[in-house]
Copies of this chain bind each other. A is one copy, B any other.
């Protein structure tokens, strides 16, 4: 798997490119859909043994600030991380086994149809918009 473009983007963020960060990037790329920090750690450790979990957390936070990665929460309190810049997508989260699949469509009706088409039985959905409320835009939206 080619991590060069990602490495380039990461360096553009201003930070140094270390073996650990490269390992995290590669793990993210290999794992795909919304892995947890621990899953990333386990995978990245195969690439760079001795890599600490704390380093993974710090690396992910750095990448998130650079816009390279986003953190999101699905149905539990564990943060999940994904590379930004791929095709915009959402998720199908299995309540039974925890499997997460990605879904390219974005509208509810179409999404539900797409989900059904792949044999996924939808029992609930969630849709959130993030941004700045009127009050916070007024002065200087921090």
Taking beta carbons and an 8 Å cutoff, which residues of A are in contact with B?
A: 72-79, 90-97, 99, 101, 103, 106-109, 111-112, 115, 118-137, 141-142
| In the complex, chain B residues whose CB is within 8 Å of the CB of A120 | 129, 131-134
* Chain A facing B: main interface SS: mixed
Min CB–CB distance A65 → chain B (angstroms):
14
A125 contact from B92, B129, B132, Cβ within 8 A = B129
Q: Which 9 A-B pairs have the closest CB atoms?
A: A119-B134, A96-B136, A73-B73, A94-B133, A122-B131, A123-B131, A127-B127, A77-B77, A124-B130
Residue of B nearest to A99 (CB): B133
Min CB–CB distance A20 → chain B (angstroms):
24
Min CB–CB distance A22 → chain B (angstroms):
27
A127 contact from B94, B97, B125, B132, Cβ within 8 A = B125
A9 and B124 CA atoms in complex are apart in Å by: 21
A73-B76, A136-B96 given; A131·B119 CB < 8 A: no
A129 contact from B78, B115, B129, Cβ within 8 A = B115
Query: Is A128 in contact with B126, judged by CB distance below 8 angstroms?
Result: yes
Residue with the greatest number of chain B CB neighbours at <10 A, chosen from A126, A128, A135: A128
Residue of B nearest to A90 (CB): B127
Min CB–CB distance A127 → chain B (angstroms):
4
Q: List 10 A-B contacts (CB under 8 A).
A: A73-B73, A77-B77, A77-B78, A90-B129, A92-B133, A95-B131, A96-B136, A121-B141, A124-B129, A124-B130
